[in-house]
């Protein structure tokens, strides 16, 4: 017997002895089921009772007022129900909560964990009037509910052109052909045998904030800025795959294609493909989600999200761009004079304050206040973020916290003592190339109002007081 195995066995015995002697297992299980029944009843109580009304509030002013009324009510009821009527203080402390007393669910209840029911409002949302059909549409990351730099997999915004393809990885192939020495086919197992890399990159849809070109339209950073997410990808260098097939010297462009019913394609210069593109099969440590291209997607760091072809099944190498629909009819920026920019791949530096914002107003009165947001640049890292409380008249350096990674979301904070008066909040990102995020007026002067794509102008939130924030523009 190996020492390692012996240790394991010994540990195992120890774990058992910590709980109950083995001969009492059946008895223990009997007890557990009784407790479970009791607990189930109580669980319903705890999920529907007073605690819920305190915590799961929606952030509109109307709801805020309603929640205040509800918590006053809960306080009253709590004091009545309290066994020691004379005790004064917070019922959350004075009263015994269900979870203080009863057993919770066992380890077999949630084999794939989900967030607390109190977080049920934290979901991707769509704007139904934007598109003709939810199958070819977009939803938005709830940025105002997140912190740090990583977007949880289930909250990464979705953009499909033909719905979510449910691909069987055993039936999935990646073909590389065109101007190569030898056209190749890889299975998923073969792809995973190349040396792997891990990188956190933001993915931003080029149309993020596209609804705001003509003025303030949507009340919430989820809707104005939520077509961005940031995850840690695991995959293999695209250059490894291309080298394996042997790109001919005339090959200058690649055409990645998806396996879904839209067969999404984009032309990408070979230089970018060889520089840092990744063929990724995992996000945040687990397999890609179907919504994000399971089993394999292309990662094109810093460039338009549309180029990050999901359900990647084919890459052709050619000497000219293909001028396909998504790089001519779409993802070209119409200027005021009727001409249009094309091949606008890089996402310029951008930032947004996520809290406070219309969906997440300040719920407290004046005093110590946390302002936070995210910033990113397709050209490198974020060197600095400035924050203004007065609509861009005066600026303060924000504090960037957490990892500062190339072409990745950065988290910034500005901690200040709020005097309770209305605020006009703005954030301004400066990236490692020295590029300064423009105001919306500066952007419109160059681009007009019909660009749709690449709106990285400075966002303004009008904090009117506790409980209310509006999306506005300022002079």
Partner 1 sequence: MSKFLRSATALVFIATLTGPAFAGEFGLGREATPDEVAAWDIDVRPDGQGLPEGAGTVAEGDEIFAERCAACHGDFGEGVDRWPVLAGGQGTLQDERPVKTIGSYWPYLSTVYDYVNRAMPFGESRSLTPDEVYAITAYLLYVNDIVDDEEFELSKANFTSVRLPNEDNFFFDPRPATPIFQKSKACMENCKPAVKVTSRARILDVTPEEESTGIE
Pairing of strands 423-431, 382-388: antiparallel
438 part of the interface to partner 1, by CB under 8 A: yes
Per-position x/- string for 285-314, each x denoting binding to partner 1 as judged by CB under 8 A, each - no binding:
----------------------------xx
Question: In the complex, what is the shortest distance from the CB of residue 387 to partner 1, in angstroms, rounded to a whole number?
Answer: 11
Strand order across the 410-418 sheet: 350-355, 367-376, 410-418, 399-401
Residues 95-134 that bind partner 1 (CB under 8 A): 117-118, 120-121, 123, 125-129, 131-133
323 part of the interface to partner 1, by CB under 8 A: yes
162 part of the interface to partner 1, by CB under 8 A: yes
The Cα–Cα gap between 449 and 353 comes to 23
Q: Count how many residues are written for the chain.
A: 475
The Cα–Cα gap between 164 and 183 comes to 28
148 part of the interface to partner 1, by CB under 8 A: no
Among 37, 48, 77, 171, binds partner 1 (CB under 8 A): 48
Between 218 and 232, name the residue whose CB sits nearer to partner 1: 218
74 part of the interface to partner 1, by CB under 8 A: no
Between 401 and 473, name the residue whose CB sits nearer to partner 1: 473
Nearest Cα to Cα of residue 319 among 280, 270, 281, 363? 270
Contact 27, 33 (CB under 8 A): no
Between 82 and 196, name the residue whose CB sits nearer to partner 1: 196
Between 200 and 357, name the residue whose CB sits nearer to partner 1: 357
Per-position x/- string for 376-405, each x denoting binding to partner 1 as judged by CB under 8 A, each - no binding:
----------x---xxxxxx----------
Of 21-29, 102-110, 188-196, 363-371, which segment contacts partner 1 by CB under 8 A?
188-196
What DSSP string describes 244-283? HH-B-TT--EEEEEESSTT--B--EEHHHHHHT-EEEEEE
340 part of the interface to partner 1, by CB under 8 A: yes
The Cα–Cα gap between 349 and 379 comes to 8
Contact 424, 472 (CB under 8 A): yes
Take residue 342 and report the two structure tokens written for it.
């094309």
Between 210 and 392, name the residue whose CB sits nearer to partner 1: 392
190 part of the interface to partner 1, by CB under 8 A: yes
Q: Is 41 left (phi over 0), alpha (psi -120 to 50) or beta?
A: alpha
Take residue 361 and report the two structure tokens written for it.
């107003």
Between 365 and 442, name the residue whose CB sits nearer to partner 1: 442
Between 49 and 78, name the residue whose CB sits nearer to partner 1: 49
416, β-bridge pairs: 369
Between 207 and 231, name the residue whose CB sits nearer to partner 1: 207
Pairing of strands 173-178, 139-140: unpaired
Take residue 234 and report the two structure tokens written for it.
């695991």
Among 71, 82, 136, 432, binds partner 1 (CB under 8 A): 136
45 part of the interface to partner 1, by CB under 8 A: no
For residue 403, the number of C-alpha atoms closer than 13 Å in the C-beta half-sphere is 13
459 part of the interface to partner 1, by CB under 8 A: no
Of 92-100, 276-284, 327-335, 364-372, which segment contacts partner 1 by CB under 8 A?
327-335
């Amino acid at each position: 017997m190996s020492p390692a195995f012996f240790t394991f066995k010994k540990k195992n015995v120890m774990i058992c002895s910590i709980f109950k002697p083995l001969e009492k297992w059946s008895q223990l299980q009997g007890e557990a089921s009784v407790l479970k029944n009791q607990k189930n009843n109580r669980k319903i109580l705890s999920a529907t009772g007073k605690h819920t009304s305190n915590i799961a509030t929606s952030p509109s002013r109307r709801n805020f007022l309603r929640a205040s009324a509800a918590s006053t009510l809960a306080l009253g009821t709590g004091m009545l129900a309290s066994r020691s009527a004379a005790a004064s203080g917070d019922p959350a402390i004075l009263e015994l909560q269900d979870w203080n007393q009863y057993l919770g669910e066992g380890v077999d209840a949630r084999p794939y964990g989900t967030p607390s029911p109190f977080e049920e409002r934290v979901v991707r949302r769509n704007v139904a009037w934007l598109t003709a059909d939810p199958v070819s549409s977009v939803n938005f990351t709830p940025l105002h509910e997140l912190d740090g730099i990583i977007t949880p997999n289930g909250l990464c915004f979705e953009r499909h052109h033909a719905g979510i393809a449910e691909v069987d990885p055993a039936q999935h192939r990646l073909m590389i052909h065109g101007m190569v020495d030898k056209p190749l086919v890889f299975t998923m197992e073969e792809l995973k045998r190349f040396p792997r890399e891990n990188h956190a990159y933001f993915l931003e849809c080029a149309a993020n904030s596209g609804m705001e070109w003509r003025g303030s339209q949507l009340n919430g950073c989820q809707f104005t800025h939520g077509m961005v997410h940031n995850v840690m990808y695991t995959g293999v260098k695209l250059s490894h795959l291309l080298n394996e097939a042997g790109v001919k010297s005339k090959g200058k462009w690649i055409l990645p294609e998806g396996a879904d019913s839209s067969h999404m394609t984009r032309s990408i210069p070979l230089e970018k493909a060889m520089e840092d593109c990744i063929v990724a099969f995992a996000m945040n440590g687990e397999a890609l989600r179907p919504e994000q291209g399971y089993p394999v997607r292309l990662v094109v760091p810093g460039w338009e999200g549309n180029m990050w072809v999901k359900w990647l099944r084919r890459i052709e190498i050619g000497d000219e761009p293909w001028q396909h629909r998504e790089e001519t009819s779409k993802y070209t920026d119409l200027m005021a004079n009727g001409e249009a920019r094309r091949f606008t791949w890089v996402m310029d530096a951008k930032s947004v304050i996520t809290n406070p914002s219309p969906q997440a107003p300040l719920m407290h009165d004046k005093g110590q206040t946390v302002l936070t947001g995210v910033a990113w640049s397709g050209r490198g890292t974020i060197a600095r973020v400035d924050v203004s409380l007065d609509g861009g008249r005066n600026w303060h350096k924000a504090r960037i916290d957490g990892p500062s990674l190339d072409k990745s979301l950065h988290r910034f904070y500005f901690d200040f003592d709020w005097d309770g008066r209305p605020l006009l909040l703005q954030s301004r990102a400066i990236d490692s190339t020295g590029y300064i995020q423009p105001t919306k007026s500066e952007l419109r002067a160059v681009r007009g109002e019909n660009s749709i794509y690449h709106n990285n102008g400075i966002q303004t939130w009008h904090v009117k007081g506790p409980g209310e924030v509006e999306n506005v523009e300022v002079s």
